[in-house]
Amino acid sequence: MNELWQSASVIAQTQTIARSLKHFTGRDLLPGNFLPMEFAEKVFHVPFVLVSHGTEADPILNYGNATALALWEMSWTELTRTPSRLTAEAPNREERARLLEMVGTLGFINDYSGIRISKNGRRFKISRATVWNLLSENGSPCGQAALFSHWEFL
């Protein structure tokens, strides 16, 4: 089987995530110029967490790099079938929903902090996260993404 980042859908999602981050924040996801598959591989293996979800009524995660998969203790298949709200414990879901609504309005936020939970019940606090809207190539909203490199287990 091919590696995850070799899939056309993963390559496309990685491009959408990077293009949207640049659009809203002016930041590059990774420095340098890479072919799309090479970029997707590098992003998959970076030491920070990168996740995204779509625009469904109850948004489903549609991307998580290797760091995200390890942190949430999920396989790719599990992650990409999970409603993103389930990455937070029930008491923290309202706060998470407010965050995503604010991102929807502003385009992005920096310095987000919150409590999350892995599939196996391991709780962790994320901090200094950037959360931003995703735009398709034609500029239509197509989800949201988050990036963070700071977390601590509780």
Q: Per residue in 95-132, pLDDT tens?
A: 878 888 888 889 999 989 999 999 999 999 999 999 99
Residue 109 CA to its chain's centroid (Å): 13
- The count of domains in the chain is 1
Q: Output the domain CATH number for residue 59.
A: 3.30.450.20
Kindly compute the dihedral angle of the four CA atoms of residues 33, 38, 55, 148, in this order, to the nearest 10 degrees: -80
129: Cβ contacts below 8 Å, ≥ 6 apart:
111, 112, 113, 114, 146, 147, 148, 150
pLDDT of residue 2: 66
Check pLDDT > 90 for residue 51: yes
Query: 1 pLDDT band (50/70/90 cuts)?
Result: very low
Q: Of 51, 55, 48, which is closest to residue 10 (Cα–Cα)? A: 51
The pLDDT > 70 percentage for the chain reads 99
pLDDT-above-90 percentage for the chain: 83
Range of the domain at 115: 4-153
What would the pLDDT profile of 17-38 be if each residue is shown by its tens digit? 999 999 999 999 999 999 999 9
